[in-house]
Structure 1
Amino acid sequence: MDAGGDGTVTVLARGEGLAAWRQIADGVAADIEAGRLGAGAQLPTEAALAARFGVNRHTVRRALAALAERGLVRATQGRGTFVETPRLAYPIGRRTRFSEIVSKAGREAWGDLIGTETVQADPATAEALEIAPGASILALQTVHRADGTPLSTARTCLPLPRFAGFDRAYATLGSLTRAFAEYGIADYTRRSTRIHARPAAADEAARLDLAPGRVLIVLTSVNVDAAGVPIQATRSLFAADRVELVVEG
């Protein structure tokens, strides 16, 4: 079953006990697995698929939702539905750099700042940053992309007043590493990383273009400067369908 956009009509089996939406989903999945729909390819619109299979758009929408739940496609608001790309190998070690990892894989890296606030450090964040509980910190909410595909969303906390204005530097440069360089930090290392997994909440799924309930890999990490002083405490949520964590020795 070719789900391309050449205008031909695909006749579905009727009266055989297999719902139309399931036949469409299985057909598109077969095209993806056979390579007829390559990684990153855009699927035809709902209207075009409905015309192709002789069904209504609700049936097509249910088929696409089933494919998203299987991690085969992702729906991007205002752009359409795309075949998921292969998982990106993401090393976790002393020098974990999102931009470097993505660039080495031949993909374009960028981070979007979607929110910022100055808050008081809770006890866990204060301990991670080695500051007093209740001290002021800058919290950034970000989304990190590879070739436009969101791989992770994160909440990054930085101590104040050392990093006052860091949000503006990040918004301009799209990279934590480049923003840290603006503050005289040429290099930094990972002190600790904790990893677990859980289902995505609705707002998290929306930020990552995921079907609700898809699995997230949660990384809680602390980075330090050359003097061993904590500069960053981050909780990152990775789309498990899009990355493969590689823990380095």
Structure 2
Amino acid sequence: MDDGIDRRRGAGVALWRQIQQVLEREIADGAVKPGERLPTEFELAERFQVNRHTVRRALAEMEEKGLLRVEQGRGTFVHEHVIDYAVGKRTRFASNLMKVGREAGHEFVRAEAGEADGSVAEALSLRRGAPVIVLETVGMADARRISFSTQYLPADRFPGFDIAFRETQSITQSLARYGVADYTRRWTRVVARMPTAAEADILHQPRNRPVLVTEALDVDHDGRPVNLGVTRFASDWVQLVIE
């Protein structure tokens, strides 16, 4: 069997390392392309005539190097290039992705009426308990989930905003329907942390891979808060560029 593996005792290189080298060479040569799913552990074990633990060690090393990514319930994929996502005075999801040659999309998760807790009320200049509209969406790049966002908007100022968003699939276009022709970013906070089980499931990523979390306040031309957004980015897919 000519699979590039030397199985002789004392060959000097562990089997898992040889498998890693073969797979990395195939990726470098373009035999396996970015975004392509690898065969399962069982299939690779059959190919190389080794046990699954040996294959798992090779794949784990490649994931650690950033060559592979694991999506829960979907498999192991060759990693694509990370997206540079600009965070600045005018941060727009669709525009950011267009600039880097990616197609933007959204998946609507839920919309509900809520009450502003202390931090939301303070950010939006509302009284505690004031009505807010809560939107949750998944941001897509080339049909791949890269972010999970929760938006809080003053319900009294934007009644029915969830309906407008369902129709436009755009915060910017929806705000324009309420006379907010433009808005800018007042501040952005960024932290990195491990995802919750729900966040990992939504983003199709393992729980041992961190998410980048932005909390950001947008204001209209008069400086009135219009939207408080909390977005969790899959760090395997996105790196934030502060402008």
- TM normalised by structure 2 equals 0.83
Percent identical pairs in the alignment equals 44
- Deviates further, 238-247 or 44-53: 44-53
User: Could you say what secondary structure the match of 1:179 adopts?
Assistant: helix
> 2:109 and 2:8 mapped to 1: Cα distance?
47
Q: Aligned-pair distance for 1:184?
A: 3.1
2:113 aligned partner: 118
CA RMSD across the alignment? 2.9
1:166 aligned partner: 161
- TM normalised by structure 1 equals 0.81
2:228 corresponds, among 233, 238, 243, to 233
Aligned pair count reads 241
> 1:33 and 1:22 mapped to 2: Cα distance?
16
> 1:25 and 1:105 mapped to 2: Cα distance?
31
Q: Say whether the 8 Å CA contact 2:72–2:201 is kept in structure 1.
A: no
1:87 aligned partner: 82
**One-letter identity of the residue aligned with 1:237:** R
- Deviates further, 156-165 or 72-81: 72-81
1:200-215 equivalences under 5 Å are 200-215=195-210
Q: Aligned-pair distance for 1:172?
A: 3.9
- Deviates further, 213-222 or 42-51: 42-51
Q: Say whether the 8 Å CA contact 1:45–1:80 is kept in structure 2.
A: yes
> 1:148 and 1:66 mapped to 2: Cα distance?
27
1:53 equivalent to 2:48? Answer yes
**One-letter identity of the residue aligned with 1:41:** E
1:5 aligned partner: none
CA deviation map 1:7-48 (0-9, x unaligned): x85647476697766654554344435554332223234554
1:37 aligned partner: 32
Q: Aligned-pair distance for 1:195?
A: 1.2
Structure 1: stretches of 5+ with no match in the other structure: 1-7
Greater C-alpha Rg:
2
Q: Aligned-pair distance for 1:227?
A: 2.1
1:104 aligned partner: 99
Structure 2: stretches of 5+ with no match in the other structure: none
1:152 aligned partner: 147
